[in-house]
Amino acid sequence: MRKLSVLVLVLSGLLLCTATAQTPLVRLAIPTTERALTPYTYNTGFPGWYLLMLIYDALMITDLDGVPRPWLAETVQVSADGTTWTLTLRQNVRWHDGQPFTAADVKFSYELYQKVTHPRFSGPLRGVTIETPDARTVVLKLSAPSPTFDLTLADTPIVPKHIWERAQDPKTFENPIGTGPYRLTQIVPDQFYRLEANAEYFAGKPRVDTLVLPIIRDATATFTALQAGQIDAATRTLTPELVAQFQARPDIKVISGPGFVTTLLLFNNERPPFNDPRVRRVIAGVISYAELVRTILLGFGKVGSPAFIHPDSPWYNSNLSGFPRLTVDQARQALEALGFKDSNGDGVREFPDGKPLQFVLLTRSGDPVRIRTAELIAQAVKPIGIVFDVRALDSDTVAQLVWPDFDVCKGRNYDLAIWGWSAPVMTKADVRGLFHSDCKLGTLNVVGYANKALDALLDKQAQAVNREERKRLLDEIQKIVAEDLPFLTLFYPDLIFAVRPAVYDGWAFLKGEGIIHKLSFVKR
Minimum distance between the CB of residue 365 and another protein, rounded to whole angstroms? 5
Query: Smaller CB distance to another protein: residue 350 or 494?
Result: 494
Residue 490 backbone dihedrals phi, psi, to 5 degrees: -75, -55
Minimum distance between the CB of residue 514 and another protein, rounded to whole angstroms? 20
State how far the Cα of 67 lies from the Cα of 63, in Å rounded to an integer: 5
Query: Smaller CB distance to another protein: residue 364 or 511?
Result: 364
Query: Smaller CB distance to another protein: residue 364 or 517?
Result: 364
Minimum distance between the CB of residue 322 and another protein, rounded to whole angstroms? 24
DSSP, residue by residue, 115-131: HS--TTTTGGGTT-EEE
Of 353, 322, 359, the closest CA to residue 490 belongs to 322
For residue 116, give the amino acid letter: V
Query: Smaller CB distance to another protein: residue 71 or 414?
Result: 414
Minimum distance between the CB of residue 327 and another protein, rounded to whole angstroms? 20
Beta strands in 150-191 (DSSP E): 182-188
Question: Cis link prior to 273 (omega < 30° from 0)?
Answer: yes
Q: Three-state SS string across 399-411, please?
A: HHHHCHHHCHHHC
Minimum distance between the CB of residue 230 and another protein, rounded to whole angstroms? 15
Question: Which residues have CB under 8 Å from 399's CB, separation 6+?
Answer: 406
State how far the Cα of 19 lies from the Cα of 28, in Å rounded to an integer: 19
Asked whether the beta carbons of 51 and 100 are under 8 A apart, the reply is no
State how far the Cα of 419 lies from the Cα of 402, in Å rounded to an integer: 9
State how far the Cα of 212 lies from the Cα of 188, in Å rounded to an integer: 11
Minimum distance between the CB of residue 383 and another protein, rounded to whole angstroms? 13
Helix count and strand count (H, E) for the chain: 15, 20
215 secondary structure, DSSP code: B
Question: Cis link prior to 47 (omega < 30° from 0)?
Answer: yes
Minimum distance between the CB of residue 252 and another protein, rounded to whole angstroms? 13
Q: Which spans of this chain sit near another protein (rule: CB under 8 A)? A: 220, 223-224, 239, 241-242, 245, 295-296, 298, 365-366, 368, 371-372, 375-376, 379, 390-394, 397
Of the chain, the end-to-end C-alpha distance in Å amounts to 29
State how far the Cα of 270 lies from the Cα of 448, in Å rounded to an integer: 6
State how far the Cα of 459 lies from the Cα of 462, in Å rounded to an integer: 5
Query: Smaller CB distance to another protein: residue 91 or 379?
Result: 379
Query: Smaller CB distance to another protein: residue 291 or 468?
Result: 291
Query: Smaller CB distance to another protein: residue 9 or 376?
Result: 376
Minimum distance between the CB of residue 91 and another protein, rounded to whole angstroms? 51
Query: Smaller CB distance to another protein: residue 344 or 358?
Result: 358
Helix ranges (H only) for 14-85 are 50-55
Query: Smaller CB distance to another protein: residue 139 or 393?
Result: 393
Minimum distance between the CB of residue 401 and another protein, rounded to whole angstroms? 11
Query: Smaller CB distance to another protein: residue 224 or 413?
Result: 224
For residue 22, give the amino acid letter: Q
Strand (E) or helix (H) holding 496: strand 495-499
Minimum distance between the CB of residue 389 and another protein, rounded to whole angstroms? 9
Beta strands in 247-306 (DSSP E): 253-257, 263-267, 301-303
Minimum distance between the CB of residue 229 and another protein, rounded to whole angstroms? 16
Query: Smaller CB distance to another protein: residue 379 or 413?
Result: 379
* CA distances from residue 441 to 44, 357, 407, 424, 512 in whole angstroms, order as listed: 25, 33, 11, 17, 25
Query: Smaller CB distance to another protein: residue 230 or 275?
Result: 230
Query: Smaller CB distance to another protein: residue 136 or 372?
Result: 372
Minimum distance between the CB of residue 490 and another protein, rounded to whole angstroms? 14
Strand (E) or helix (H) holding 435: helix 431-435
State how far the Cα of 108 lies from the Cα of 156, in Å rounded to an integer: 12
Asked whether the beta carbons of 361 and 324 are under 8 A apart, the reply is no
State how far the Cα of 343 lies from the Cα of 256, in Å rounded to an integer: 50
Strand (E) or helix (H) holding 112: helix 103-115
Query: Smaller CB distance to another protein: residue 241 or 468?
Result: 241
CA angle 173, 178, 183 (to 5 degrees): 100
